[in-house]
Chain A
Amino acid sequence: MSDSTRRQFLRVTAAGSAAVVLSGAPGAAWARKPAPAAAGRTRAYVLVVDGCKPGEITAALTPRLAQLRAEGTTFPTARSLPVMETIPNHVMMMTGARPDRTGVPANKIFDRAEAVQRDLDRPSDLRFITLLEQLNGTGRTTGTVLSKEYLYGIFGERATYRWEPAPIVPVSGHAPDAATMDALIAMVDSADPDFVFANLGDVDRMGHSDLTGTTLEVARTAALASTDLQVGRFVDRLKATGKWDSSVVLVLADHSMDWSIPTNVISVDRILSVRSDLSSQTQIAQNGGADLLYWVGDAAVKDAALAEIRALVLVHPGVLAVNTPTQLRLGPEAGDLVATCRAGWRFSDPYVVSNPIPGNHGHPATEPIPFFVSGGSPRVVRGKVSSEPARTIDVAPTVGALFGIKAPQGGYDGTARMVAFNA
């Protein structure tokens, strides 16, 4: 390349003639020819089926995912970690560290410095080294194919190759799985990174918006079947291009999903409305099944005020727990109190109509997730079911161990699930 300081772009034509635009780090190479069958090379792909419940992967509904699970090592006790939202759990996957170390505890926070509520979607919000950077540091190449704008935002240009989600579905802010898969396949075909981190957003987005969600879950079922086809396309492509036998595919969700009916809504703002001295000094960052509460009033009365707020909120029949961020290892960005709801409820602040979405997550009912390691690589242990308590935070240690990456400074908070690999 003549100019190695500038970001590079590659436009490729994907299936259906849609154009996919990928960007690359300065100096990144685009290998257009079939990948050499380098002895000992391992490719790893982490596919996040956003918002998928473990029970939704069945041979009837999602045959390709079910087959991958059956052919690899699965962890039926796997769970998401607080706050059970998309951004923090993707960050935990890529860092192996808890939010009190990464700075990313939730999707939405109240930013005290800027005095605004905002998504944690800036590259600078993530303060911990990621697996992407660690792999890059060993001379390997990495990629991100993230269907949601805020995920693309926070991971930014950390990967060697990245795809900016497009086209974006209005309101949902995500690219459909077909487009995401086009991009993933284009990236693997053209750049063949050693590791790609991909997020498929349809299942989550159909979960949120599915107005039949409390009963038939029709749209969600359709999304699961559709996403399964896309995963199948990816596997087929790896096989067709000779990469499958060196590939490890880790499939998981970032969180599960729970549906509430319109009457089961909790408004902390409304609960506190009986005490304007409290409500006027409290900021609320709403995260579906979790509310982050920030005391912005007089520091001298903070402890007493928080104790009163906690007591008032806990009385609500839909509230499961009110914890401190420390108890959940969330760090100061999560504010002063974290309220979580019971199954079948949701938070909606400031008004009870502010959150009209029936499908939510963020509360403990949405912790169970699928988590399995599969692929054609001989390193994958086949047909195994493990009781080990896999967590989203285990992804970086597990993939890192596969590549011989050293733990970051201070160590991982997660655990490498080596039971999934042959020695």
Chain B
Amino acid sequence: MSSRTVLSGSDIDRAVTRIAHEIVESNQGTSNLILLGIPTRGVLLAERIATVLERSYPEFAADSSLGRLDITMYRDDLSANPTREITETSIPAGGIDDKVVVLVDDVLFSGRTIRAALDALGDYGRPRAVRLAVLVDRGHRQLPIRADFVGKNLPTSVAERIRVQLSETDNDNSVVIEG
């Protein structure tokens, strides 16, 4: 099995910083903005984006704008896999009604995770708009879903595996293609 590194730690930092500023640009500010990370690594990326925003925009407060959305119970492949562990969902206290929700995930592949996330969001409220930010878009979509903010587009074959490592949970900061 071969593996090659396509994004280094500093590449990831630059991509996260750029995505953070693109989100603010398209939202015309940080008001009504909610960042929701999708476990596991989407949560870490959402935290990193929030850190960039806090540094650059004093009016942005992470504790009222940052949350996480566990989509396990909304998946369409539950019965085809072993029982998955459910993790915490936390929505900022103000709720998501009439807010602009940015979903954050590490890799966009089939689009099924995002489909599940959209279903889950509907049970928490009615956002004014939902956007999608991903670190890597590897193609091979199975649903009509696209990302609004992309760290890097990576053409891959279906057989390949993308491994995202973030220092919060892994030893390294990198994106590796294996296979």
Whether chain B is bound by chain A comes out as no
**Residues of chain B at the chain A interface (Cβ within 8 Å):** none
Q: Which A positions have Cβ atoms within 8 angstroms of B?
A: none
